[in-house]
């Protein structure tokens, strides 16, 4: 075979293209949709709690089987469906929620309530959600909508994301809801709010079969971590966006656990797509994925410096250990 010697001009153009691509502002998300203006100014007006601090009637607490790492913050999650309405669960991996559905997620960092995030289904189209963070007042009782987010909330190291950034993750699936899904509820430990509990509460439009993530304990932990922390960006069914590309990886890595691929670990997205440079079997140190998850540093001119690329400043050491064991014996 004839050796290929690229010309200096060609090399220059490749370098330039790589540099331009790396500098593209993929991490600047479109301004939040106008419906953010529909969000109440104060958390106390969103319908989560009653005056005595208890949950409002109809509000249900849940915990996903696999959590997003939020730098060690304690999190509590809730939803409320409009009275008498159900979730359209016919697309098993992308549930559709009735207009008026509300989800909240409370964050407590170092024992201090810092923010509560809110997602509201504002219209029938898939993208019609309003999303934003409420940052707690000094007293820690009520919180104020912060469209631009906030840094070091209440003297902690916690940052509340801007409303535009919510969609960098939640806009990566047509459902927008990431932790209340067939896969997540189908793997909740006994006693938690799971698929059966959701069915008993009349929330689901169709019965959902077993959703158990396959594999050994280490494989399940690794697959669950990747699903919860990476798959909203790294999946093959990202909806089209109107605005510029926002945190779109534009690569083939697929970390989403699909219902129809749970028969065997080898059929799952991570096993089909990660065993390249991203994951070198038996060699965590030389696996790009492992390197990116093991550090926190700002994006450089030549590619990503950390994964996930936003909403975390602290390495998830437990996840790093899980991934190390999994890569050593995949």
221 binds ligand HEC (CB under 6 A): no
Only segment of 135-143, 150-158, 163-171, 197-205 that touches ligand HEC (CB under 6 A): 163-171
280 binds ligand HEC (CB under 6 A): no
Rounded distance, CA 40 to CA 46, Å? 6
Name which position in 32, 47, 64, 284 contacts ligand HEC (CB under 6 A).
Answer: 64
103 binds ligand HEC (CB under 6 A): yes
Rounded distance, CA 212 to CA 179, Å? 15
Task: Please return the burial class of 83, using the count of CB atoms within 10 Å of its CB with bins 0-12, 13-18 and 19+.
Answer: exposed
Name which position in 49, 80, 109, 117 contacts ligand HEC (CB under 6 A).
Answer: 117
Judged by CB, which is closer to ligand HEC: 43, or 262? 43
Name which position in 72, 98, 214, 304 contacts ligand HEC (CB under 6 A).
Answer: 304
43 binds ligand HEC (CB under 6 A): no
165 binds ligand HEC (CB under 6 A): yes
278 binds ligand HEC (CB under 6 A): yes
86 binds ligand HEC (CB under 6 A): no
Name which position in 135, 150, 307, 327 contacts ligand HEC (CB under 6 A).
Answer: 307
Backbone angles phi, psi at 69, to 5 degrees: -70, 125
77 binds ligand HEC (CB under 6 A): yes
In angstroms, what is the minimal distance from the CB of 43 to ligand HEC? 12
The residue assigned the tokens 């890595």 is 253
Only segment of 46-54, 92-100, 187-195, 243-251 that touches ligand HEC (CB under 6 A): 243-251
Q: How many CA atoms lie within 13 A of 203 on its CB side?
A: 25
311 binds ligand HEC (CB under 6 A): yes
Contact criterion met (CB below 8 Å) for 97 and 177:
yes
80 binds ligand HEC (CB under 6 A): no
Rounded distance, CA 14 to CA 3, Å? 19
The residue assigned the tokens 């290929």 is 4
Contact criterion met (CB below 8 Å) for 208 and 236:
no
- Give the closest residue to 169 by CA, choosing from 104, 243, 247, 236: 247
Q: How many CA atoms lie within 13 A of 237 on its CB side?
A: 13
29 binds ligand HEC (CB under 6 A): no
Q: How far is CA 83 from CA 87, 199, 203, in A?
A: 12, 15, 10
Only segment of 106-114, 136-144, 230-238, 259-267 that touches ligand HEC (CB under 6 A): 230-238
Here the tokens at position 265 are 């670990």
Here the tokens at position 163 are 């409303």
Q: Which residues bind ligand HEC (CB under 6 A)?
A: 26, 64, 67-68, 77, 103-105, 117-119, 131-133, 161, 163, 165-166, 168-170, 177-180, 228-230, 232-234, 247-249, 251, 253, 278, 288-289, 292-293, 303-304, 307-311
């Amino acid at each position: 075979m004839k050796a290929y010697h690229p010309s200096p001009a060609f090399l220059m153009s490749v370098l330039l293209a790589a540099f331009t691509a790396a500098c593209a502002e993929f991490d600047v998300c479109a301004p939040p949709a106008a419906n953010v203006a529909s969000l109440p100014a104060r958390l106390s007006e969103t319908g989560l709690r009653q005056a005595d601090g208890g949950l409002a009637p109809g509000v249900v607490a849940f915990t996903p089987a696999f959590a997003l790492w939020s730098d060690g913050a304690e999190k509590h999650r809730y939803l409320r469906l409009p009275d008498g309405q159900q979730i359209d669960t016919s697309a098993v991996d992308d549930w559709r929620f009735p207009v008026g559905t509300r989800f909240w997620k409370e964050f407590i960092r170092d024992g201090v309530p810092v923010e509560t995030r809110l997602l509201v289904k504002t219209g029938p189209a898939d993208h019609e959600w309003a999303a934003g963070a409420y940052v707690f007042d000094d007293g820690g009782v009520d919180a104020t909508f912060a469209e631009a987010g906030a840094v070091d909330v209440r003297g902690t190291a916690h940052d509340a994301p801007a409303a535009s950034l919510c969609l960098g993750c939640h806009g990566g699936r047509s459902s927008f809801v990431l932790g209340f899904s067939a896969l997540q509820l189908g793997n909740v430990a006994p006693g938690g709010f799971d698929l059966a509990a959701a069915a008993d509460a009349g929330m689901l439009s169709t019965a959902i079969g077993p959703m158990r993530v396959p594999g050994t304990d280490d494989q399940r932990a690794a697959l669950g971590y990747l699903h919860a922390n990476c798959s909203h960006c790294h999946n093959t069914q990202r909806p089209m966006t109107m605005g510029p590309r926002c945190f779109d990886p534009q690569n083939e890595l697929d970390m989403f656990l699909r219902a129809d691929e749970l028969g065997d670990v080898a059929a799952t997205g991570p096993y089909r797509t990660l065993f390249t440079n991203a994951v070198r079997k038996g060699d965590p140190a030389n696996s790009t994925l492992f390197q990116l998850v093991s550090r926190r540093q700002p994006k450089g001119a030549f590619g990503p410096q950390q994964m996930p690329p936003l909403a975390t400043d602290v390495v998830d050491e437990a996840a790093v250990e899980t991934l190390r064991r999994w890569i050593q014996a995949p």
